[in-house]
Structure 1
Amino acid sequence: MPIFLVILSFMKEITFKLNGRMWMEIDGEQMLGPGRVELLERIQASGSLRQAAIQMKMSYKQAWDMINHLNSHFGTPVVISHRGGKGGGMAVITEQGIQLIKEFRDLQQKFRDFLKENSKTD
């Protein structure tokens, strides 16, 4: 049992709610969190990096930089984009990107469950 839970077990009358945030780091650098996963999900839904950026109220460059950062750190790209032109560009989430979204969301749910199960509320 984690030490903080042992300490808290002595405080039977106190109610509390654990809270926290989760993200993935690679070599000490924050790589993937809820915001970047949301960007990937919005790209997947819209097929457009520009639309995903607009929906998230961020600049296209900021979204582009996030995707380039992810693509360069995961071995294989998580998003493949095709330049616009007359018909406009498009962005496609790769199988690795889809798997990354799924695994992050699964871990995020486990993290939420952990926080809820270890909180002591009435």
Structure 2
Amino acid sequence: MSDPIFKLNGRVWIETGDEKVLGHGRVELLGRIQASGSIRQAALQMKMSYKQAWDMVNHMNEHFGQPLVVSHRGGKGGGKAVVTEYGVRVITRFHLLHQKLQEFLKENSTDLIL
């Protein structure tokens, strides 16, 4: 019998204390808010409730010390949400960390013998 082939795998997320504040789902939510200009539209696209999306945005805004998303209540034309410049930097940094993790996992999976 030949030796099994092993491969490392993993995901990156950011915590403060023991609380998760940013991961793939939240970054996707931020990206969809940025693209649509709407928390409601982003929630619909991700098949989650508006309340769940709103709670995630509030949680991130509270824990990052400055807003990642600024929202304006709806009126005649509806509300809008904007990912702040800081939020865009957070998204970019998260994608960079994810890329570095994937490179690390790939590099360290070669000739992995347990």
Per the normalisation by structure 2, the TM-score is: 0.92
**Alignment partner of 1:47 is 2:37:** yes
Aligned mates of 2:79, 2:17 — CA distance in 1: 33
The aligned residue for residue 7 of structure 1 is none
Residue 15 of structure 1, CA deviation: 2.8
Given that 1:15 and 1:120 are in contact with CA atoms closer than 8 Å, whether structure 2 keeps it comes out as no
Looking at structure 1, the residues matched to 72 and 40 of structure 2 have their Cα atoms a distance apart, in angstroms, of: 12
Question: Does 2:13 correspond to 1:23?
Answer: yes
Unaligned runs of at least 5 residues, structure 2: none
Aligned to 1:33: 23
| The one of 84, 94, 102 aligned to 1:112 | 102
How far off is 1:120 after superposition? Answer: 2.4
Q: Quote how far apart the aligned CAs of 1:14 are.
A: 5.2
Q: Percent identity?
A: 67
Residue 10 (structure 1) aligns with: none
Normalising by structure 1, what TM-score? 0.86
Counterpart code for 1:110? K
Matched, 1:63 2:53: yes
- Tell me how many residue pairs correspond in the alignment: 109
Q: Residue 78 of structure 2 aligns to a residue in which SS?
A: coil
